[in-house]
Structure 1
Amino acid sequence: MNLLVNRSAKRLLILLVSVLFAGAVFTQITAYNNAGRFKNEMITHDYALAGYLSAKHPELASDIRAAFTADKTESGIEAGKALLEQAGYIKSINSNLLPGVKEFYRSNVTINLIYSLVMGAAVFLTVWLFLRALYNKLDEYNHNVIKIIEGEISTRLDDSEEGTLAKLAASVNTLTASLNTHIEREKHSRIFLKDVLTNVSHQLKTPLSALTMYTEIMRNENPDNEVIADFLDKSENELDRMQALIANLLKLARLDAGIIELSLKDYVLNDIIRQAAASFETRLLQEEKTLAVKADSEVHYACDREWLLEALSNLIKNAAEHTTRGNRIGVSLEETPVLVKITVRDNGEGIHPDDINHIFKRFYRSRFSQNKQGTGIGLTLAESVIEMHGGFISVESSGKTGTEFTVHLPRLTKL
C-alpha cells in the first residue's frame, strides 16, 4: 500500500515531519543559546579569578592577563591540575559544590523538560487527531454497512477524498448496487414464476374439474363392475393429488415471490392445533390410526392463523402418509418464556439417514418411500411459513421410535 496516495496518511506524515523539523530547529536554537550562556559563565568565572589574583598580587597584573589570553601548554595544564587537586578541585567533584555548574544544570534540565513535553504533546495531538478522524470515518462506514445488512440497500458510503478508505467506500457502494440489482432481478423472477404457476394452475383446474365430473359419471354408469370401480378409485386419488399439488404450488409460489404479508394477531394455539387435527379425523379413522393432542395450558401467540394452520396441517399430513395401520400420531404444545414449541411425533417407519438432510427440499422424494403418497412440497411449505414467523423446524427420526418434527416459535414476535 502506497501511503502517499492516501490523503489522510499524507497529511499525518506532513504534520509529523513539520513537528519534528520544528523540534530540530528548536534544538539548534537551544544549543546555540546554551553555548552562549556557557561562554558567559566561563568569562564571568575568569573575571572573578583574575580579580582575586590581582587583588592579592597587583604586581603580577601583566602575568595574570597573559594567563587568560596566552596559549596553554600541556605541561602547564598538568602543573595546574597537580596544584588544584591538592585543594580537592578535581573532575569528580560534586556539581552542587560549584554554584555556576549547578545553576547551568538546573536551567538546562528545565529547558529540556519543557522541550520534551511540548514535542511529546505535539506528536500525541497530531496522531490523536488523525486516529479520531480515521475511526470516526470507520464508525460511519460500519453504521452504514449495518443499515445495508438490515435491508436499506439504497444506503451509500460517501467519501470524496482519495486513499484506501475512499476505495473501500467505492467497493462497498459497487457491491451494494450489485446486490440491489440482483435483488430486483430475483424479485422479478419470483413474480414471473408466481404468474406462470398461477396461470398454469388456473389452466389445469378446468380439465381437472372435467375429469372429476367424467369420473363421477362413469361411476354412476357402471356401479357393479369391480374392475372399473377400482380404476375409478385410483383415478379419483390421482386427481385429488393433482388438485392438492396445484393448491400447494400456488401457495409456495406466493411465498417465494415475497408478496405474502403475515397478518399477525393474538390467537390461542390450542384452537389452531385442534382445527388442524380435526381435518384428518376421518382419514385417520379409515386408516385405523390414532391422533392425540396434548397441551397442559392455553397458549396465546401472535401469528397468522391461516398460514400457521397450513404449516401444522402439512406436518400432520406428512405423519399420516408415513405411518401404517395401528400407528399413533401425537401433537403436543409447550411454552417457555422465550419459545413456543409444537411437536408432531409418530411411531412410524422413521426417516432413512440418507434422507434426513434433504426432506425440506421441494419435490424431494426418497427412494426408500416411493410407494408413499405426497407431492414433495408439504414440508417445504411448512418450513417457509414457520421461518416467516421468525421460527424454525427441527427433526429427529429413528427407525425404532419414529419421527418427531418440532416447530420452534420465538416469543419475541410483536403484534
Structure 2
Amino acid sequence: MLRNQEVQIYLTLLLSISVIGVTVAVLFVSLPAAGLVLALSVLLISFSLIFTKWRYRQIEKLSSYLKQISSGDFHLDVRDNSEGELSLLKSDIFKVTRMLSEQGTLLQEDKAKLTNAISDISHQLKTPLTSMIVMADLLRDKRLEDGKRAEFTRNLQVQLERMEWLVSSLLKLSKIDAGTIFFKKEKVLVAPLIQAATAPLLIPMDIKMQHVKIGGDEQAAFIGDFNWTAEALINLIKNSVEHTAEGGEISIHFSENALFTEITISDNGKGIAKEDLPYIFRRFYKGKNAGDDSVGIGLALAYSIITSQHGDIEVNSSPGVGTSFQIKFYKQVI
C-alpha cells in the first residue's frame, strides 16, 4: 500500500499540514497547543492509513473476484447491502457478471446448435451424394441399356435439384438468423400473394388431382415483404400438397380485422401426430408422417420468415383428419 504513489502523495500532504500546524502553534500559541495539534495530527494520519488499508483490502477482494470471473466462474455473489461507492461498484460488477454468464450460456447454446446443424447438413447431403456417385459409376458402363441410362440421368437431375433446394434454403435460414436480411415494409395485398404462392404448385396439385379452394377478403392486406412471405407460403402449401392424398382438398382462406391479417391453410391429409406438433418448426425435424424425401427445412424456413416480420404461426392437426396452419400478421408489435 505504501508503495502506491497516490498514497505517498496523500501522506506527504497530511505530514506537511501537520508540520505547518505544529509550527504555527509553537510560534503563535504555546507548546501545549503544539502538542495537542501534533497528537491530533498523528491520530488523523493513523485513522487515514487504517481506512485506506481497509479500502485496499476491499479492492483486492474485488480484483480476486474479477480473476475468478475471467477463469469462467460466474457463480460468485459479491453484493452487499451497505451504502457507499464500493457497494455500488460491487453491484455493478455483479450485474456485468450476470450478463457475461448469460452471454456465455447463449454462446454455448449457439455452438451446440451450429455443431448439430453441421451434423444434420452433412447427413442430408451424404445420402444424395452417395446415390449420385453410384449412378455416375453406372453411367460409365458403355453396355448400359438406354432405358436405364435415361432413368439414372433423371435420378441424377432429381438429386441435384434436391441438393440445390437444400443448400438454398439453408443459406436463406442462415441469413435470417444472422440478421443480414432486411424485410421490406410495404403494403401487401393477400389475394395476389396467394396467387403467387400457389402458382409453382399447380402442376403437383394437378398430378395428384387435388382441389384447392381460395377465398377471403379481396382487400385484406398487411405490412411486410411480398417475395419473402410468398416463399414462406409456398413451403406451407407444399407441405399440404405432399401430405394430402390424391383427390384431396386444400383450402386457403384470408381475412383482415382491426388487430391482424390472418391467412389459414388447411388440408384433409394425413395430419400430424400430437407428439410431433411442438417440434415441426424445428429445422431438420421429421415427424412420424414425414415422407422419405422430407428434409425438415421447409416449415422451419416458413416460421423464420413469418416471425421475422412480426407475425405468428400456429398449427392444429389431427391424424387422419388434416392439418391447418394459421398465420397472423399483426397491425403493430404486441
Task: Give the counterpart of 2:309 among 374, 380, 389.
Answer: 389
State the SS of the aligned residue for 1:280.
helix
Residue number in structure 1 paired with 2:324: 404
Residue number in structure 1 paired with 2:219: 298
Contact conserved, 1:277 with 1:291, CA < 8 A, in 2?
Answer: no
Residue number in structure 2 paired with 1:248: 169
State the SS of the aligned residue for 1:351.
coil
Give a deviation string over 1:294-349, Cα, whole Å, max 9, x none: 12231221101221111111101111111121111111111121111111111001
Give a deviation string over 1:207-230, Cα, whole Å, max 9, x none: 99xx8xx99xx7xx9998444444
Alignment of 1:209-220 (within 5 A): none
One-letter identity of the residue aligned with 1:376: G
1:377 maps to 2:297: yes
Pair member with larger Rg:
1
Q: Report the alpha carbon displacement of residue 162 of structure 1 after superposing the two structures with TM.
A: 4.4
Q: 1:180 to 1:397 in 2, by over 3 A?
A: closer
Task: Give the counterpart of 1:310 among 231, 235, 239.
Answer: 231
Q: 1:287 to 1:370 in 2, by over 3 A?
A: closer
Alignment of 1:101-116 (within 5 A): none
CA distance in 1, matches of 2:85, 2:245: 71
CA distance in 2, matches of 1:234, 1:305: 34
Contact conserved, 1:358 with 1:364, CA < 8 A, in 2?
Answer: yes
Q: 1:287 to 1:172 in 2, by over 3 A?
A: same
Task: Give the counterpart of 1:176 among 99, 102, 110.
Answer: 99
Q: Report the alpha carbon displacement of residue 383 of structure 1 after superposing the two structures with TM.
A: 0.7
State the SS of the aligned residue for 1:340.
strand
One-letter identity of the residue aligned with 2:305: V
Contact conserved, 1:327 with 1:348, CA < 8 A, in 2?
Answer: yes
Q: Which runs of 5+ in 1 are unaligned?
A: 1-158
1:324 maps to 2:237: no
Contact conserved, 2:284 with 2:295, CA < 8 A, in 1?
Answer: yes
1:280 maps to 2:233: no
Q: TM-score by structure 1 length?
A: 0.50
Q: Report the alpha carbon displacement of residue 178 of structure 1 after superposing the two structures with TM.
A: 4.8
Q: 1:283 to 1:175 in 2, by over 3 A?
A: same
Q: Which runs of 5+ in 2 are unaligned?
A: 1-81
Give a deviation string over 1:277-300, Cα, whole Å, max 9, x none: 111111211222122221223122
1:347 maps to 2:268: yes
State the SS of the aligned residue for 2:94.
helix
Q: 1:231 to 1:364 in 2, by over 3 A?
A: same
Q: 1:256 to 1:302 in 2, by over 3 A?
A: same
Alignment of 1:141-290 (within 5 A): 161-162=84-85, 167-179=90-102, 225-290=146-211
Q: 1:265 to 1:296 in 2, by over 3 A?
A: closer
Q: 1:267 to 1:367 in 2, by over 3 A?
A: closer
State the SS of the aligned residue for 1:342.
strand
CA distance in 1, matches of 2:318, 2:102: 42
